[in-house]
Amino acid sequence: MCPLGLILNRLDKLFKVESRLVLSFIEQTRRTQIVNAAIEVLAEEGYARTSLARIATHAGISKGVITYHFKSKDELFAEVFRQVVEDAGLYIMPHIKTAGSPRERLSTYITLQIRYMAEHRSALLAIGQLAYNHGGDGAGADYISAATQDELGLLEQILAEGQATGEFRPFDCRIMALTVSKAIEAALTDWAWNPNLNLLAYGDEIVALFDHGLQAVSPAGAR
């Protein structure tokens, strides 16, 4: 191949790579638009009334655009849950990693879970609708189950480390992880029904409850 041919061939390959990158960016932007629309419709209309047609109308696109990017409503709902959980993780995890002791990490986890949802009410309502209504089989249900187990695993790890360092008293870490998780869930559920509830103050009380309730009793304070 002549030098000009080599140059043209390389340019053609570069243009194809660049085109794929641009297409990938456009596709991801469209998927994000669809997910955000699904979150808003779930939050405003509820699970039963959330259809692909309603989501498409909210996003200002055709239903066919949604089915091009997502094979089914189940797949879209799984992506909604995944995106909210991932965003919350990006919001929370850096602070947990830099927190010092297990006691501080637990307090940070509770505080930031509550704070994230306080700042993202539509996301909270959307995943609440999915968690309560999207049971059974399917990608959505599988992701919800996996995310729940991941959360409990993280809490168990923090609690076990707190026991190992002597900060926390003896208890079953699985049971306590479930208790912490359910306390947060109860606060978010109450706030979902009553938006005037002071969610951040509620979160502070949960932190205080577990901070005092899990502390190891020193020998001097033992009865």
Domains of the chain, first to last: 1-70 (1.10.10.60), 72-223 (1.10.357.10)
pLDDT at 120: 93
CB–CB of 74/139 below 8 Å?
yes
pLDDT at 149: 86
Nearest to 144 by CA among 90, 185, 85: 85
Q: Hey, what are 177's tokens? A: 């992880």
pLDDT at 220: 57
CA–CA dist 95, 105 (Å, integer): 8
Length of the chain: 223
Write out the chain's pLDDT in tens, 223 residues.
Answer: 545 454 445 545 545 444 454 557 788 888 999 999 999 999 999 999 999 999 999 999 999 999 998 988 888 998 898 889 889 889 999 999 899 899 999 999 999 999 999 999 999 999 888 888 865 555 556 767 777 888 899 999 999 999 999 999 999 999 999 999 999 999 999 999 999 999 999 999 999 999 999 998 766 555 4
Which secondary-structure segment (H or E) carries 130?
helix 121-133
Global confidence as pTM = 0.78
Nearest to 151 by CA among 46, 73, 201, 81: 81
Which residues share a beta bridge with 215? 168
Q: How far is CA 154 from the centre of its chain?
A: 14
CB–CB of 77/130 below 8 Å?
yes
pLDDT at 137: 56
pLDDT at 130: 87
